[in-house]
Every structure is written in structure tokens, then in C-alpha cells.
Amino acid sequence: MVHPAISETAKAIKELKIQGARNIAERAVAAIYSMLLDEKEKGTEKEEIIERIKEAVGVLAKSRPTEPALRSALAYVLREVTRLKDLPTGIFTDALIESLEKFAERMDETEKKIAEIGSGLIEDGYTIITHCHSSTLMGIFRKASEEKEFTVIVTETRPKYQGKKTAKELLEMGVKVVYIVDSAAYYFMKQADIYMTGADVITADARVINKVGTALIALAAHEFGVPFYVAASTYKFDPATVLGFSEPIEERDPAEVIDPKELKGAEIRNPAFDATPPNLVSGIISEKGVFSPYTFVSLLSSEKTIDPQLETIIKLAFNR
């Protein structure tokens, strides 16, 4: 029997009642946390708890198989389980509870660290071009705005206009904003000193999966010798890709693009992401530092070969 916290959260995610990458991630971890509290009260054995967690991860992962942040959060839980699994039951449960309790907090610390590091890449007087909205990147902009003057060229980011949110927050910080349609990125690229975005997922072969359009603009940046830096905490690395699972690209509601009635007979496609190859990315700004995507992956993968248990869980969870 799946714990109600899990099944309800999964249902809410499936029915789009919970939305937004980080929100979904935190709510999924919170559900497992709730379940753990109950199991602790019941004094459930470690082995049993681990089984329940695997099950929970499987249920949650399937609730939105195209949301990379959800996958990353669940992979985090699994990594913590693996890390702690040799402890005695009581200590294990407490340690895991504590770890999950601090998930959101830790993400805040991570963001803060990235903000501090990333702001070093922005020099006074710079013109930055960005795409979509990334809270991690906004942290960098906020930090940098405390000491430097710079301008950000913001693309509106069709179809959901996340650029508007980016622009508004920048204006509130007192940062100069140039607001353009997505396809004007080539036209304005010569003026840019640096191209910066967030990321949804970094794959094992070092590609950056982010809001559709990111790769297209990366080509323009490359054409004008403008370096491209991606703000992404290490938990954006998806271990499933190590095993050759290709990252599925979510296709969202066509109605976000256009009312289908307006174009009867047309196939309206709305992929949410694209994948930028690593040769177009100068560096990833994570809480570990600023490294090329190749090094970023090396740092996260170097300690050991794939943990067999983790591998089994991944396969279970992602039903592959």
C-alpha cells in the first residue's frame, strides 16, 4: 500500500495541481519526508523503509516523467539512501529524515554559493544576454547588482513569456533591461559580453538541457565569440543518463503556442526543452565552482563506478 502522502502528491503532480520545477521537486521530497516520519513512529525496519522509499520514488517519478527537476530530486533521495544505508536502522531513519528535512534549505545554500561564484563572471559595464527565467541565475544577477552596473538583454521566451518575469525582477534590482523577441538574439549578440542561462538537466555526456531556444541562441553566441555560462547546481546532473537513458524532452500543451482551433489540421508542437552540446558551453557555474561541462560531469562521476543498488533503483523508478 503506497503511503497516502505519496499517492496524493503524485496525483496532484499528475493533474498539474502542483507546478513549477523547484516546487514539484520540493513537494516530492516533502512527501517522502512525511512518509518517513510515519515509518519512524511505526518503528519500521531499515530494509522495509528502503523498500517503501523505492516504491515511493517509482510512483512519484512516473507522475511526471518529463520533469527533470523531479527526477533529480528523487535521484538525490536515492543517493542519500545509498550513502546512509549501512547505518543501523534507528540512526539511518533519523539521518535520512534530517537530510530530507534540509533539502530545501540545502538548495538555498547551494543557490547562495552559486550566486556568489557566478557574480564574479560579471564585470562592471557588461552586457549579458539571457533566455527564459532561472531562479539560480537571478541569484547571480542579484548578487552582482549589489556591486556592479550591467545590462541584461532578455528574450521574451515563447510560448510562456518567462522572460517577462526575468525582466521584471531585474528592473526591481535596478538592472538595465533590453527586452526582445527570442529570434532577435542573433541581431543583438554582437553587443553581448556573455550569454548566461540556467539549466534543467546536465547529462553524462555533458549536454545542457534547458528551455527550448537555449541551444539556438548558443549557436549565435558561438558565432560572435561570446562565452556561454550556465548556472546549475550539481543536483541538476541526471545519473540516469550515465546508464544511457536518453533524457525525454517534454512536449507541453499545444494551446500554449496557439489555440488549435485557429489552425485546424496543423500539428502544433510544443517541446519545452532543447539540448545544447558541450562544445557550445564555456562553463557551468555550480556550487563546486566554474568548470567546463566535461569537468563538471567528471567531478560528479569520478568517485566510483555506478553503484549497483542505485542503478537498480533508477531502473525501477523510471520503469526501464
> CB of 62: closest distance to a second copy in angstroms?
18
Contact (CB, 8 A) for 239 and 314 = yes
Cα separation of 206 and 276, whole Å?
Answer: 9
Q: Which residue, 93 or 155, is less far from a second copy as judged by CB?
A: 155
> Min. distance of Cβ 295 from a second copy in angstroms?
5
| Least distance between a second copy and beta carbon 14 (Å) | 25
Helical spans, DSSP H, in 120-197: 135-145, 162-173, 185-189
Nearer to a second copy, 95 or 178 (CB): 178
- What's 22-77 look like in SS3? HHHHHHHHHHHHHHHHHHHHHCCCHHHHHHHHHHHHHHHHHHCCCCHHHHHHHHHH
Half-sphere exposure of 250 (CA within 13 A, CB side): 18
Sequence-separated (6 or more) residues with CB below 8 Å from residue 168: none
Q: What is the smallest separation between the CB atom of 275 and a second copy, expressed in angstroms?
A: 9
Q: How far is the CB of 223 from a second copy (least distance, A)?
A: 5
Residue keyed to cell 511526471: 64
Closest to 199 measured CA to CA, from 108, 251, 250, 135: 135
Q: How far is the CB of 313 from a second copy (least distance, A)?
A: 16
13's enclosing H/E stretch is helix 4-14
Q: Give the DSSP H/E element, type plus range, for residue 129.
A: strand 127-130
Positions marked catalytic: 132, 200
Minimum CB distance to a second copy smaller for 85 or for 158: 158
> 10 Å Cβ neighbour count for 90?
11
Identity of the residue, 55 or 161, whose beta carbon is nearer to a second copy in the bound complex: 161
For a second copy, give the closer residue by CB, 135 or 301: 301
* Closer by beta carbon to a second copy, 21 or else 249: 249
Q: Which helix (H) or strand (E) holds 308?
A: helix 308-317
Q: Is 209 helix (H, G, I), strand (E, B) or coil?
A: strand
The burial of 47, by beta-carbon neighbours within 10 Å (0-12 exposed, 13-18 middle, 19 or more buried), is given as: exposed
Contacts (Cβ under 8 Å, ≥6 apart) of 53: 32, 35, 36, 77, 78, 81
